[in-house]
Structure 1
Amino acid sequence: MPGRPVRLPAPADDATSRAVTAGLDALRAEVELPVTYPADALAEAGSAARRAPDAPHAPGERADRTDVPFVTIDPPGSTDLDQAVHVERRGSGWRVRYAIADVAAFVAPGGALDGETHRRGMTCYSPDGRVPLHPTVLSEGAASLLADEVRPAALWSIDLDADGEPVDVHVERALVRSRAQLSYEQVQERLDAGTADDLLRGLADVGTLREARERERGGASLDVPEQEVVRSDDGTFGLRFRATLPVEGWNAQISLLTGIVAARLMLDAGAGVVRTLPPADPKDVARLRRTATALGIDWPDALPYPDLLARLDSHIGAHAAFLREATTLFRGAGYRAFGTDGPPVPAGDDAEHAAIRAPYAHVTAPLRRLVDRYGTEVCLAAVAGRDVPDWVLAALPELPGTMMRTGRRVSAFDRGALDLVEAVVLEPRVGATFTGVVVDTDEPRDGRARGAVQLRDPAVVAPVTSDAALALGGSLDVRLDEVSVAHRRVMFVAV
């Protein structure tokens, strides 16, 4: 799913905020991020937003599911709401309903708006806002699953057995109405306090079951610490590592479940686009085992990798170093499109996402990611027994390249934005000494050891050099030696 954005907590007109804004403007220009929408695309979006929620489909084609009490669960302040969820008991198992914003109801194939979404590929989040895939009149208005609003959706209904495995799946066009917009923190507080309703308790139960099934498959979810920008009472900026709440993992499992069943529908239909990741190189796995030994992490030969991850705590220095190293196993992610007149239907490892250990497709974030609109249309056609629309088949061959190209642009902006905020936060503290943990090592150059150090306060991961060898996972006192806001760079030296 799209990464968690780094946000400034509140707008301000001070020197620090102006430096961040200027730096972000320069970064957007540097990575060629499309900021303004063409007038014709905006006009199309405005016209689509004014249509009735069941247009352009024929009366009766869209089922009325407004009686289902969906809720949305997102970071606080989110307005581009792709998903609404409902979970209930069904015999000894469960029924999961997942309503996904029906973007195809608003974007005409081949139009100016459609062309602009292909140029953007995905929403780019920034500390000072967002550059949306779709104009905000849609992404934060008419197409967003906002509370107490009737909205068109692609509604997934997935029945699970007592172990959390899918036994039946259906997807249809529907009208839905979310009852509440909740934050992760609100849901976790209710679950912890015992005041959560049946829906939220069901989400926790199903999420826990799906996490267990993921580990059994050999899938892996990494709890790598996330950096978050904060502002203190005196107006100064800081950075901290944000702890991931259990409900975020459970909610993510609903999205993963939907992506897994969607991929199976596409593969059976012989058309679609799946998310792929090649298996880890055995040499990389062996290296990671040596890293665990060096860090004092007990990884018995008989313990599966996913079960090891479940035992780690990213707040422990050695564990944080290991988790950063573990991300190197998941390189080479991409997309693979296939259709009736295109490449053959993938099978085996070619169809599988190695981190999920199952075929997987993106269908749950169409407001923020282009490919999801096309995957959803394939699944709707497959379940209804109809041919996949021609406009979908025509676009499939180009989608992997479009998503990879725009994904690299967004990733470059994300990394640059975080580097910028780190530089702005640290600029007044050049010469100060900090204590951190070595989370990466590199080949020495010019007779000096090189690597990366993770500080806890402020929450920074930055390059470090040392006259002595760096011990991965070891505690290290470092001095802030250099900061360049213009180049978005900080450098530490060991002391």
Structure 2
Amino acid sequence: MDTTDGAALDFAGVRAEFDLPTQFPPAALAEAELAVTDRDHLVGAREDATGLPLVTIDPPGSKDLDQALYVEQRPDGFRLHYAIADLGTFVQPGGALDVEVRQRGQTIYLPDGNVPLHPPILSEGAASLLPGQVRPSALWTIDLDKDGEPTNIRVRRALVKSIAQFDYDSVQATIDAGNPHPSVAALPALGRLRREHAVRRGAVELQLPEQEVVTNGNGRWTLTLRPRNNVDAWNAEMSLLTGMSAASLMVQAGIGVLRTLPEPDEGAVEWLRRSARSLGIEWPRTDTVSVMLAGLDPRSPESLALYMDATRLLRGAGYTAFDGSLPELTTHAGLGAAYAHVTAPLRRLVDRFGAEICLAVSADQPVPDWVRASLPELPKLMGSSDSLASKVDRACLDQAEAWVLAGRAGHEFDAVVLRAEANSAEVFLTDPPVIAKCAGEGLSEGGRIRVRLLAADTVKRKVSFEKVEMQ
């Protein structure tokens, strides 16, 4: 897709506005460096699983590699080996680094560089599952039957060594060509089964366009749409499977921290049905929201509008910690299952605690006291960091949109109406890929319209459009 270059600027304004940290405190860095040099002391006894042919699948150029996998197809089904970076090896409870990462909550990603949760010596070095390197991990082994249903779950501390680092497109190309790497040859079969399970569970997947801000190599910025291929979706299913397995261990043991979302009320679903009817989308009464959404053509403007409306069903997600008795809500309505974050500890605080709980439960050992003591504060810490990450992401997109459109006031563009209100709407431009507000009357969701750029303010990060009235 052709895109328009932005100005030769960086995102320092966004960093300053949200007071993002620029460095780690010296004491935290010193602890990280000591954890690397004295790792043998911190690691302790663990299984040697370096013979497993694990591989990583991440965006090109990634260095903070949380997960490595190996999918086996067996006579009775499948076996997923899923190694997760073990931050419990490197972060001492109550130390200066622990204090700092609790304040950060998660890695914040900006187009011109991230604000890491952990010092790069860990997140891009000693803790990252880089190829050819022996690394400590929480190694999950999940056996599944021929229908893709888990039959046995085990997690333990292990030493692993990834044999290759892949990206989504390269893996997809080998699968399409019929010569996938042996470690992922069974991924399509298991991935498809898990996608089918997701629909039956009632998982809500919204295939909205995902904007991405990228450099064109000379200090200028451009907007693109991030493509999502089958490997991306199948790989995500492996992570979700592990997170659901973690949740099952936590629920069984009566201790954990879950990612939860209440079921939408009937009024919200009926409202979505009315929206579907207004868009001309057929939705049989016998079909769930999940089945209906899975059957839509994501390229259709009507589908895009309904996906946007369906985001209403996913509001209110949070974290629920418990110890001793199960909370009233243990499931995530958007996934149709109980789910826990454990697969991204390099980038998300809560995963380290989730891993420690699962390791203890799987080994029939007590959950460490420092983990139990931390459970009550985790939902608030994660909620705050989630909110900050969302605001930073939106600000970066707003900035890039303003840069891309600067100097083009009066230009006209083709757009699709995503969400309509009285005398205004949220519209999606395909070229450049911008989502913005548009003024005008008679705007209907799913409609294709022509819009005119009124202004692009690069200081306030605001763009505004008006509907072009056809003569």
Unaligned segments of structure 1, at least 5 residues? 1-7
* Cα deviation, residue 461, structure 1: 0.4
**Structure 2 residue aligned with 1:458:** 432
- State the SS of the aligned residue for 1:94: strand
* Cα deviation, residue 15, structure 1: 8.6
Name the CA distance, whole Å, in 1 between partners of 2:227 and 2:130.
Answer: 27
Q: Does 1:136 align with 2:120?
A: yes
Quickly say closer, same or farther: Cα 1:230–1:33, change in 2 above 3 A.
closer
Name the CA distance, whole Å, in 2 between partners of 1:470 and 1:453.
Answer: 10
Structure 1 residues 114-160: Cα deviation after superposition (integer angstroms, max 9, x where no partner): 00000000000001010000000000000000000000000000000
Instruction: Give runs of aligned pairs for residues 27-426 of structure 1, distance below 5 A.
Output: 27-52=14-39, 54-58=40-44, 61-230=45-214, 237-340=221-324, 344-347=325-328, 350-426=329-405
Name the CA distance, whole Å, in 1 between partners of 2:445 and 2:7.
Answer: 34
- State the SS of the aligned residue for 1:356: coil
Name the CA distance, whole Å, in 2 between partners of 1:168 and 1:112.
Answer: 38
TM-score, length-scaled by structure 2: 0.96
Would you say the 8 A contact 1:55–1:105 is kept in 2? no
Structure 1 residues 389-409: Cα deviation after superposition (integer angstroms, max 9, x where no partner): 001001000000000011111
- State the SS of the aligned residue for 2:163: strand
Q: Alignment RMSD, CA only?
A: 1.8
Would you say the 8 A contact 1:69–1:178 is kept in 2? yes
Quickly say closer, same or farther: Cα 1:98–1:192, change in 2 above 3 A.
same
Q: Which stretch of the first structure deviates more once superposed, 287-296 or 183-192?
A: 287-296
Name the CA distance, whole Å, in 2 between partners of 1:33 and 1:283.
Answer: 40
Unaligned segments of structure 2, at least 5 residues? none
* Cα deviation, residue 234, structure 1: 8.8
AA of the residue aligned to 1:188: Q
Of 447, 456, 466, 1:474 maps to 447
Would you say the 8 A contact 1:210–1:253 is kept in 2? yes
AA of the residue aligned to 1:401: K
- State the SS of the aligned residue for 1:159: strand
* Cα deviation, residue 34, structure 1: 2.2
Name the CA distance, whole Å, in 2 between partners of 1:77 and 1:233.
Answer: 15
TM-score, length-scaled by structure 1: 0.91
- State the SS of the aligned residue for 1:477: strand
Would you say the 8 A contact 1:313–1:319 is kept in 2? yes
AA of the residue aligned to 2:19: E
Name the CA distance, whole Å, in 1 between partners of 2:195 and 2:13.
Answer: 41
Would you say the 8 A contact 1:240–1:456 is kept in 2? no
Name the CA distance, whole Å, in 1 between partners of 2:392 and 2:184.
Answer: 35
* Cα deviation, residue 434, structure 1: 0.6
Structure 1 residues 192-229: Cα deviation after superposition (integer angstroms, max 9, x where no partner): 11111333221111111111111111112221111123
* Cα deviation, residue 281, structure 1: 2.0
Would you say the 8 A contact 1:64–1:175 is kept in 2? yes
Q: Which stretch of the first structure deviates more once superposed, 308-317 or 330-339?
A: 308-317
Name the CA distance, whole Å, in 2 between partners of 1:144 and 1:230.
Answer: 24
Structure 1 residues 242-261: Cα deviation after superposition (integer angstroms, max 9, x where no partner): 32101111001111111111
**Structure 2 residue aligned with 1:26:** 13
Name the CA distance, whole Å, in 1 between partners of 2:25 and 2:219.
Answer: 37
Name the CA distance, whole Å, in 2 between partners of 1:232 and 1:123.
Answer: 24
- State the SS of the aligned residue for 2:248: helix
Quickly say closer, same or farther: Cα 1:230–1:34, change in 2 above 3 A.
closer
Name the CA distance, whole Å, in 1 between partners of 2:219 and 2:136.
Answer: 42
- State the SS of the aligned residue for 2:186: helix
* Cα deviation, residue 322, structure 1: 1.1
Name the CA distance, whole Å, in 2 between partners of 1:97 and 1:203.
Answer: 12
* Cα deviation, residue 308, structure 1: 1.8
Name the CA distance, whole Å, in 1 between partners of 2:347 and 2:25.
Answer: 18
- State the SS of the aligned residue for 2:161: strand
AA of the residue aligned to 1:85: L
Q: Which stretch of the first structure deviates more once superposed, 418-427 or 234-243?
A: 234-243
Name the CA distance, whole Å, in 1 between partners of 2:427 and 2:153.
Answer: 46
Quickly say closer, same or farther: Cα 1:159–1:55, change in 2 above 3 A.
farther
AA of the residue aligned to 1:56: L
* Cα deviation, residue 268, structure 1: 1.4
**Structure 2 residue aligned with 1:488:** 461
- State the SS of the aligned residue for 1:493: strand
Of 410, 423, 431, 1:431 maps to 410
Of 8, 16, 20, 2:7 maps to 16
AA of the residue aligned to 2:461: R
Quickly say closer, same or farther: Cα 1:188–1:489, change in 2 above 3 A.
same
Structure 1 residues 332-360: Cα deviation after superposition (integer angstroms, max 9, x where no partner): 000011114xxx3225xx00100111111
Name the CA distance, whole Å, in 1 between partners of 2:218 and 2:335.
Answer: 44
Would you say the 8 A contact 1:230–1:238 is kept in 2? yes
Q: What percentage of aligned pairs have identical amino acids?
A: 49
Name the CA distance, whole Å, in 1 between partners of 2:202 and 2:218.
Answer: 47
Name the CA distance, whole Å, in 1 between partners of 2:95 and 2:178.
Answer: 50
